[in-house]
Structure 1
Amino acid sequence: MTATPAAAPEPADPPPGGLTHLDSSGAARMVDVTRKDVTARTARATGRVLVTPEVVALLRGEGLPKGDALATARIAGIMGAKRTPDLVPLCHPLALSGVTVDLEVTDEAVAITATVRTTDRTGVEMEALTAVSVAALTVVDMVKAVDKAATITDIRVETKTGGKSGDWHRDSASAATGASPGDREAAPRTPLGPRTALVVTASNRAAAGVYPDRGGPLIAEALRSWGFATEGPQVVPDGAPVEAALRAAVAAGYGVVVTTGGTGLTPTDLTPEATRAVLDREIPGVAEAIRAEGLGAVPSAALSRGLAGVAGTTLVVNLPGSTGGVRDGLAVLERWLPHAVDQIHGGDHRPAPARTGAGTHPEPGTSGSAETAGSPS
């Protein structure tokens, strides 16, 4: 009697630390994420397209032969993120809850930043990288008639949040591994600057996907309307993750970081403590003005413990978690935010509007600067 051949065993998982997309025999496979938890996840990637001064001038003046290169590249990047599983064969199809692609023209390049969000079983780093890559390819396509040598460079993941492995930030990873100047972690960074902003939402429940973040998108929309290249909202749990997000943002060189949530009196409301640990200088008048803005309609606005201040060259402002508190805070920020950012980066005081009547003389040392008109400087 002929024995029935035994079924070939299933290839074993790779050993710990191995490549997860290869089984023990070296064959490519799609990782099974069935047993992973569904959590809120974000990823941010950056890249640059090096271009000539002529292209920079055309981009700033909207004079390229093919039209608005930046708007076209932005839409292409968003489309690229959504089509990632079609381009990267072992990437899981995910329901993306948000994709933002921002492009900033510097003196030598177009800097691209993509932030992708989902609530699912696996991360969105590949979607963020694809968004940057497709946006960069589109920039090259739009400018090649003027600059055939346009070069795509420095595409990389900067941060990821959520999942079993937790949060990861390129700056903290470099510090933890003791990266030397010759390491790839020390490669030139995508330039950030005064007109860049990050929104951070501090909420245990929003980070766990219990409910959607509503305040963060309001802040991001306002910052973009004021001319800031804005990323986020980056949703993190309360407490230590907020401090980690702030430190990474300061190290990355954002001009502005606005947080929402975690400013009240519950045991988990620790955003002010996380912020104070990062700040070099506080700006008490800003926090007071934000509280005062809402007091007339909502007396409990007095319970907000939010702070504002400067860390390095980054302006950090805490807003409450409620959408009403966010709107009150934005009404305050709109009045002086660009001026404050300009001063942090060495700008002079703006002349105060002329006023008449008693009590209009500038205080000693102000020389009629914007401080006499209640500027937060």
Structure 2
Amino acid sequence: MKKLSKKQLGLIVVVALIGVGGSIVYTSSQNQVKAQQEQVDKQANKFATLGKEVKGLFDEKKPSFLSDNTTKEKIEGLNKRYQKLSKEVDGAIDTKKVKADKYLEHSSACKNDLEQAQLKMESQTAVNKLFQEKDKKGVLHGTTVVKDRAIGDEVTEKSVKETKTVYGYEKPKNDFEKAVDDLIKEAEAQIGQQTKAKKAVEQVYKDGKVVSNDNKLYDTAKAETDKIKNEEAKKALIDQLDKVKADIDKQAAEEKAKAEETTKSQSEAANAQANNSNVAQPSENQGSTGTEAAPVENGYIGNGGSYVAPETPTNGGYTPPASNGGSTGGGSTPAPQAPSQPSNGGGGRGEMTQDDLNQASKDAANADWSDFFPK
């Protein structure tokens, strides 16, 4: 066998060393890939476990809502665990050498769910701040949505607008987003009603005083105020309207008293006029006193029912004789003399009885009065 030269032996040694080195490098590289794969698989399992807890943040039947027991602190705790798991993998993962599908799938799912839970919690918290809290629960908790609760005392048009800008949805995609959108609209409606009521009240009460006591304006303001759900806001306006109502009632009472006084005066005047019309007035032919009876022709006069004979003519007529059969001239058959004084009939009171009156009437009817009147 031909001996190899020193040069050839050197080359062989170098090649051998290169082969051994390459083998060592390859083996080391393979070991590194294997170790990283094991680490990735281990982390994938951890993310899968964490992912199940993160899923528990959402309602099982309506996953678009957070579960009733989800809190801000619980979300923050799960997020810290996620961040810690993400840092446990050494260096960047070479997806060409390591199978990282499960790792990426579970870690990505955890990250996405945590972000969604955090965003929903922020939206839920912001919306709940617009309304009054009751039993330590807001209008949106879990899948429960309360739409008829009053807005908070400190809520303003500005705060509602800011909440809508940050957390509102122009086109809700699920039940949770629709609930948030509906609650923001409810807050807007209540703010709008308060503004409308305030403007109506200002028509009757402004700058600390009553400016109008018009009943129609008051009724409108009262009706709009009654629609306010926030009791504190309502009470502030009711207090102002009470002052307006007191002024209206005062004016009504004054007008009523005035109307009653006018009615009373008119009634008294009417009664006085009626009483005056019932008093007998003296006739034109009566004497100076109310007891004198004015003379009448051929008849009776009302005082005591006494009869007065007709006056005799002054120009030559017949003068009844003083006694039956007498005559003072003219030669005619005398007519019976009518009494010139009241008879003593009627019980001696100077009044004629009914019988006396009847007899006198009969005598006058049968007498011949032809010569009594001048021809």
TM-score (norm 1): 0.19
Q: Bigger relative contact order, structure 1 or 2, given CA contacts below 8 A and separation 6+?
A: 1
Structure with greater helix share of residues: 2
TM-score (norm 2): 0.19
Structure with greater strand share of residues: 1
- Whichever of the two has the greater Rg, that structure is 2
